[in-house]
Structure 1
Amino acid sequence: MTDSQKIDAFIAKQTKWKEKLEKLREILLQTDLKEELKWGKPTYTLNGKLVVGMADFKNHMALWFHQGVFLKDKHNKLINAKEAKALRQWRFEENDKIEQKIVLEYVEEAIANCKAGKELKPVQKKGVSIPPLLDEAFKKDTTLKEHFQKLTPGKQREYAEYITEAKQEKTKLSRLEKCIPMIKNGVGLHDKYKNC
């Protein structure tokens, strides 16, 4: 099955956003962008670089501009996507009209920016600084250290910062006690909130 056929299937399954997704797709296919399916969503690229994508949500659907930070946004359509500094989102709610001319204007500007090489690269994450209290716990319990090292750097950083941010030693100790079983279970500090 081609990406185009997969996107046909993705749109066919829609109930609430079908018309809007079809309209946006029609606009995007007028450009030089290549249509692909990434992360299960329609995505449009230029020479392998992500330019724009479409996504459906419960209360809105959106166009994601992967380097949207460089767009002039003269119609004030974009919102900052907090997860990524370069990403900008244009949301459409149920009664919003898709203005083809304005959408095309934004997409063409995004393409021009991509061709010009405008790109905000993600900042490389710094290493994890282990707080002394956690380091002591590792010395007492070597399995704790093994479990901690199996976590992603992001999850390791969450735990380290959570313990370090406490002002009082008593609070640091109680936070460490709370974290130990979670670390041993291989879960991140904030995992229960991430799947909501």
Structure 2
Amino acid sequence: MDAYIARAAAFAQPILRDLRERVHAACPPVQETIKWGMPNFVYRGKILCGMAAFKQHASFGFWQGANIVGAEQSAGSDAMGQFGRLTAPADLPGRREFATLVKRAMALIETGAKRPPSKTAQPKPPPRPPADLAAALAANPAARKTFDGFPPSQQREYVEWVETAKREETRRARVAQAVEWMAQGKVRNWKYMAK
């Protein structure tokens, strides 16, 4: 985390140092880690909160932000996290308010509360095989049965593999290979699965 803060823009360094100090003051047993390339704070093995520095602002967010500050404030920010675009330490909430929020986040972890699902995250619909793959599957009942039995994610792997072919001959070869593998009951990346 020291290296991350040192690499941050000059304006962001005091913000990140202040946030770090505040989190440790409110939650002494917290542990520091880097996840997704950004500093995060972990309490009892669960992510408590995290911070990041960008070119013109920094951000801070609680993992269960909607449960801590409310869904409106959590979703209403124009930046990652709950406090908007931080450009100076003065942009942070007061120390007492911040400590209260950290304690609330700790309590959620202690009680086992789950992070609410994102309203924007919608399950992907099952993929529709392109016409050439669909025709090849129709001609091979064993492959069709395997494809139909796959969960959508495994169906999508085959569909995307076929659809990303740049040349027509590559696409034909992929369709033929896909049908052959599915007739044998194999997932797309069967070669890389542990035996």
TM-score normalized by the length of structure 2: 0.57
* Cα deviation, residue 95, structure 1: 4.4
Superposition map of 1:97-176 within 5 A: 97=90, 98=92, 99-120=94-115, 129-131=126-128, 134-139=129-134, 153=153, 156=156
* Cα deviation, residue 141, structure 1: 6.9
Contact 2:44 2:109 in 1 (8 A): no
Give CA-to-partner distance per residue, 1:33-90, whole Å, 9 cap, x none. 21112222111111211110111223321112111221145xx853368xxxxx9532
Report the residue type matching 1:23 in the other structure: D
User: Residue 51 of structure 1 aligns to a residue in which SS?
Assistant: strand
For the pair shown, the structure with the greater C-alpha radius of gyration is: 2
Contact 2:42 2:49 in 1 (8 A): yes
Residue 17 of structure 1 is matched in structure 2 by 12
Contact 2:15 2:88 in 1 (8 A): no
Aligned residue pairs total 144
- Cα distance change of structure 1 residues 180 and 28 upon mapping to structure 2, 3 Å threshold: closer
* Cα deviation, residue 138, structure 1: 0.7
Give CA-to-partner distance per residue, 1:95-144, whole Å, 9 cap, x none. 4612322222211111111111111365998675233xx342214578xx
In 2, Cα distance between the equivalents of 1:126 and 1:40?
Answer: 26
Residue 194 of structure 1 is matched in structure 2 by none
Higher strand share: 1
Contact 1:62 1:91 in 2 (8 A): yes
In 2, Cα distance between the equivalents of 1:155 and 1:109?
Answer: 42
Sequence identity of aligned pairs in percent? Answer: 21
Report the residue type matching 1:94 in the other structure: T
Contact 1:67 1:88 in 2 (8 A): no
- Cα distance change of structure 1 residues 24 and 181 upon mapping to structure 2, 3 Å threshold: same
Establish whether residue 78 from structure 1 lines up as the match of residue 71 from structure 2: no
Residue 178 of structure 2 is matched in structure 1 by none
In 2, Cα distance between the equivalents of 1:155 and 1:65?
Answer: 35
Residue 184 of structure 1 is matched in structure 2 by 165
In 2, Cα distance between the equivalents of 1:69 and 1:96?
Answer: 23
In 1, Cα distance between the equivalents of 2:153 and 2:3?
Answer: 36
Q: Choose which of 59, 83, 87 in structure 2 pairs with 1:94.
A: 87
Higher helix share: 2
Report the residue type matching 1:136 in the other structure: A
User: Residue 62 of structure 1 aligns to a residue in which SS?
Assistant: strand
Segments of 5+ residues of structure 2 without an aligned counterpart are: 138-146, 167-195
Residue 189 of structure 2 is matched in structure 1 by none
- Cα distance change of structure 1 residues 77 and 20 upon mapping to structure 2, 3 Å threshold: farther
- Cα distance change of structure 1 residues 154 and 79 upon mapping to structure 2, 3 Å threshold: farther
Q: Which moved more, 1:35-44 or 1:64-73?
A: 64-73
